[in-house]
Every structure is written in C-alpha cells, then in structure tokens.
Amino acid sequence: MEYSKKLQEKVNQQIRSNLKLESQIDKEIDYFCQCYRDWYQAETKSGHKPISILAEGDSWFRYIIGKGIIYYLENELETDILNLAFPGDEAREILSAKQKKRIIKELKAGPKSRQKFDYFLFSAGGNDLVGVDRFHKWLNDYQKGMSPKALINHKNLKAAFSLLQQDYQELIDIRDQYSPKTQLIFHNYDFAIPDGRGVCGLGPWLKPDLEMRKIPVRLRREVVTLFLKEFAKLLKRIAKQNTAITIVQTQGTLKDSEWANELHPTNRGFKQLAKCFVPCIN
C-alpha cells in the first residue's frame, strides 16, 4: 500500500527544502573561503604572516545554537580559521565524495597561492558512535553484578572503530597527498553526562540507550566514561601509525555545570575546550 497523496507531497516538499538548504550551505562555505583568503592576503601584504588553520568536523567545531570550539579558538589565537565544520556531520559524511572534494580543494589551495596550511583541525566520531538510537549497539544488557567494563560490547565496538579508523585514515591520506607538511590535530571529546537532556527537539542520545540495556543509574556515567576512553585509545593508535598528528587531550576538562545537554557543552565549556588546543598550535 502506498502513502497517501497528502503525505507524499509533504515528503516531496521536505526533500526540495533539504536540497535548497544544502545549496545555501554550499554558497555560504564558498563565501567563508573567499573571505578567509581575502583576510589572509591582506594580512600578509601588511607584513604579518598569521598562522594558517583549516578546520573540518561536527558541532563541537560549529555549534549553531551557541559558540563552538573554533569560535573561541580564534579569539584565543587572535587569528581567523577557515572552518568547514557542520553540526551533525559524521566522519563517514565528511569523507563522502562531495565533502572530500571540498577538503582536497582547500588543502590544495592553501591560505594563498603556493602556500599550505600550517594546521588542519578535525573533529569527528561522536555522531558516528552516539547518533540517535546508536549507542545501545556498543553496550550489553545488564545482568546482576556486571561491572561497567563488562557492559561495553567490545566486539561490536571494535567493528565500529574499524570503520571509523578507515575514515580517519582516509583523511590522513588526503593530507599526506595534498599538504604533507600540514599538522593534523584531533581531539577526544569529553566525558558526557547521560542525564536525558537534548536540544532543539534532538536527543537525548545516551540515556534512552542505557535504559534499553537496563543499566542501573549508578553505573551509567562510568559506562559512558569507559566508552569515551576507548575512543581516546583509538585516536592514539591512529596517531602512532602515522606522522604529523597531535591529539588534544580534551577529556577531563569540563565541569558538570559546563554541559548544556548530553552531547554539547555550554558556551563556557566550549571556551575551556578551546584553551586545550592553544599549546598545540605554535
């Protein structure tokens, strides 16, 4: 049986709306890129050579309903950053054909002709691993006496990490090919609080999945912490297998009051996280 004509039309309208929004986003990014290069050109002509930084990633780098890491990092470093990030993006989306072409284009172009970026900041993996109705895949059903470590489904998580590592490696390979002297900088998020808070009708992302696995409240934060520590280990392995990669240790930075919801810090929290990047950028 087919959907009603009324519903089909609503779906078609939504598709057209999404395509229009995607086109607007592309134009906005083109504008960002042109503004950045105009600024960089003007700075160099004035005798000042600023640090050149490219950024790509998710809502931790561009948080539309607040200010993400890149906004505060620009203030900390007193420089502009060419930020391609878009909230909600997964690593697999960032490395899709369309967005990958954009990354290659910007790396090849550099901040100006015959010059490459000094740094390439990348934030990804959170949405791949804890997108809506996804977190439970990496957990086991609770049985009496189980420890937080035993509640992590390491077999499933290993498979997920394998796919995520492929995306990270593809990004590294692109850097190596088109801008090998550019230093890559990753971060490992922070220990989220599974308290059921969402934002703008999205989420929560953690609490429902923990409830689905019947994990007691007293164990939930430690389970999330252990899960994120496994992600941090993954990034360390990736960095060890490659060169010119820095991992910013963001885990353990935020206070409970600096979380706005299950996945995103408050503006103050993002400001604290931005400060973690500063020592890694000369």
- DSSP assignment of 160-212 equals HHHHHHHHHHHHHHHHHHH-TTSEEEEE-------S---BTTB---SHHHHHH
Residue 149 pLDDT: 98
User: In this prediction, what percent of the chain has a pLDDT beyond 70?
Assistant: 100
Residue 116 pLDDT: 97
Residue 10 pLDDT: 79
Residue 43 pLDDT: 96
pLDDT, one tens digit per residue, over 239-263 is 999 999 999 999 999 999 999 999 9
pLDDT (average), residues 71-79: 98
Q: How many alpha carbons lie under 13 Å from residue 71 in its C-beta half-sphere?
A: 14
DSSP, res 265 = B
* Structural tokens at position 121: 């900041």
115: β partners: 112
pLDDT, one tens digit per residue, over 3-20 is 787 877 777 787 787 777
Helix (H, G, I), strand (E, B) or coil at 87: coil
Residue 175 pLDDT: 98
Average pLDDT in the chain: 95
Compute the distance between CA of residue 143 and CA of residue 123 in angstroms, rounded to an integer.
35
pLDDT (average), residues 51-64: 97
pLDDT, one tens digit per residue, over 197-212 is 999 999 999 999 999 9
Which comes out higher in pLDDT, residue 41 or 14?
41
48: β partners: none
One-letter identity of residue 25: I
Compute the distance between CA of residue 184 and CA of residue 241 in angstroms, rounded to an integer.
13
* pLDDT class of 233 with cuts at 50, 70, 90: very high
Residue 23 pLDDT: 86
Note if the pTM is more than 0.75: yes
Cβ atoms of residues 210 and 227 within 8 Å = no
* pLDDT class of 174 with cuts at 50, 70, 90: very high
Residue 8 pLDDT: 73
Residue 218 pLDDT: 98
